[in-house]
Amino acid sequence: MKVNRIFRKVIDKIRLLSYKDRESYLLLYSILGYVPNNMALYRMAMTHSSASASGNKKLGCNERLEFLGDAVLSSVISDYLYSNFVKEREGFLSKSRSNLVCRETLNELAIEIGLNRFLEACGLPSQHNSYVYGNALEALIGAIYIDKGYKQCRRFLLDRVFSRHLDLESLVRTDKNYKSRLIEWTQKTHKSIEFRLVGEELRKDGAFFVSEVYIDNQLCGVGDGFSKRESQQKASRQAISKLGL
Instruction: Please give the pLDDT value at position 226.
Output: 78
> Of 133, 151, 172, at which residue does a domain stop?
172
Interatomic CA distance for residues 182 and 29, integer angstroms = 42
Q: Which of 150, 172, 194 is where one domain is finished?
A: 172
131 with 40, same domain: the answer is: yes
**Which long-range contacts link 209-214 to residues 24+ away (Cβ below 8 Å)?**
211/235, 213/182, 213/238, 213/239
Half-sphere exposure of 219 (CA within 13 A, CB side): 7
Domain residues for 31? 2-172
Catalytic residues: 70, 138
Number of domains in the chain: 2
Residues 115 and 208 in one domain: no
Same domain flag for 62 and 81:
yes
Mark residue 175 as left, alpha or beta (left: phi above 0; alpha: psi -120 to 50; beta: remaining).
Answer: beta
One digit per residue, the tens of pLDDT, for the chain of length 245 reads 444 554 455 445 555 555 555 666 778 888 898 888 888 888 888 876 655 544 445 556 788 999 999 999 999 999 999 998 888 889 888 888 888 888 888 888 898 888 887 776 454 544 455 678 888 999 999 999 999 999 999 999 999 998 888 776 666 666 667 888 889 899 999 999 999 999 888 876 668 899 999 999 999 999 988 788 888 888 998 999 888 87
Query: Do 22 and 100 sit in the same domain of this protein?
Result: yes
Cβ atoms of 195 and 212 closer than 8 Å: yes
What are the counts of helices (DSSP H) followed by strands (DSSP E) for the chain? 14, 3
Give me the pLDDT at residue 123, please. 47
